[in-house]
């Protein structure tokens, strides 16, 4: 039944780029008397689901918020477990992603990661770099403010070296220096876990995204809820600052 619901959504307007804040793993585990790490492991299946559905529906890009720059302040044992889980997931999933023609990129401050994890990330990115299907970004050690600051520094360096004129900096130049680069901005943000905030995720890129907040904890996120999010998006009139009814249809279809 859940799959059939998703099929119905395929005929409606679809976002080009979906961003997801995967919240609630720890609470899901706690409600079952399990360690928080069990929730993080259970959260891998919804990730696979979203990748499959986006690839099947022809959605161009999917960006997942996996570990924020603020998450480093969590207990050392949980952080170590999460880093181990990232290592295992990359090693286990990269072959399937490659088979599905998914291009994988990890965005965020990877210098904060272990040398081993950095090497594994680089290998996975290289293996999938030429794939032409879904563009999958996983945000690890990522913060929206950090993203904006590092983009400003990169542009400042170019200006100082004479490679870029100060007057040439516009929104397009700035956006290209951010972690998402030249990808289209997310049209739809999905956040699970009943929280209703951005939590420092893609602050520049989510300026005009439609925001769908789900009460489900991330491990419980399924095809039915994914279809609800797509239906929510299809029902929105995306005005981008214009008055209601003025060019909204054309803007929805624009790249």
Name the token pair of 146. 């950090």
Which of the residues are catalytic? 23, 71
Q: Could you give the CA distance from residue 131 to residue 1 in angstroms, rounded to a whole number?
A: 31
Phi (first) and psi of residue 71, to 5 degrees: -65, -15
Tokens 């360096």 label which residue?
157
CA distance 35 to 31: 10
Closest CA relative to residue 189, chosen from 178, 173, 200: 200
**CA-CA distance, 30 to 116, in Å (whole number)?**
30
- Say how far apart CA 68 and CA 181 lie, in whole Å: 19
Hey, is 99 helix, strand or coil? helix
């Amino acid at each position: 039944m859940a799959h059939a619901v998703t099929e119905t959504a395929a005929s409606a307007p679809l976002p080009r780029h979906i961003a997801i804040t995967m919240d609630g793993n720890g609470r899901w585990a706690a409600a079952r008397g399990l360690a928080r790490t069990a929730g993080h492991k259970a959260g891998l299946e919804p990730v696979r689901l979203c990748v499959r559905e986006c690839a099947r529906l022809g959605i161009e890009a999917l960006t997942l918020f996996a570990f924020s720059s603020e998450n480093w302040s969590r207990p050392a044992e949980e952080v170590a477990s999460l880093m181990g889980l990232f290592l295992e997931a990359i090693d286990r999933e990269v072959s399937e992603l490659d088979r599905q023609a998914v291009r994988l990129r990890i965005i965020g401050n990877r210098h904060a990661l272990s040398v081993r994890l950095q090497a594994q990330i680089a290998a996975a990115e290289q293996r999938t770099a030429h794939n032409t299907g879904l563009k999958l970004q996983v945000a690890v050690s990522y913060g929206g403010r950090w993203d904006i600051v590092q983009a400003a520094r990169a542009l400042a360096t170019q200006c100082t070296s004479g490679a870029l004129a100060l007057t040439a900096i516009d929104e397009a130049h700035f956006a290209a220096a951010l972690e998402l680069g030249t990808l289209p901005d997310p049209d739809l943000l999905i956040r699970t876990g009943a929280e209703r905030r951005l939590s420092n995720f893609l602050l520049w890129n989510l300026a005009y995204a439609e925001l769908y907040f789900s009460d489900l904890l991330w491990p419980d996120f399924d095809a039915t809820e994914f279809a609800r999010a797509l239906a929510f998006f299809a029902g929105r009139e995306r005005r981008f600052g214009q008055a209601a009814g003025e060019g909204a249809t054309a803007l929805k279809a624009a790249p």
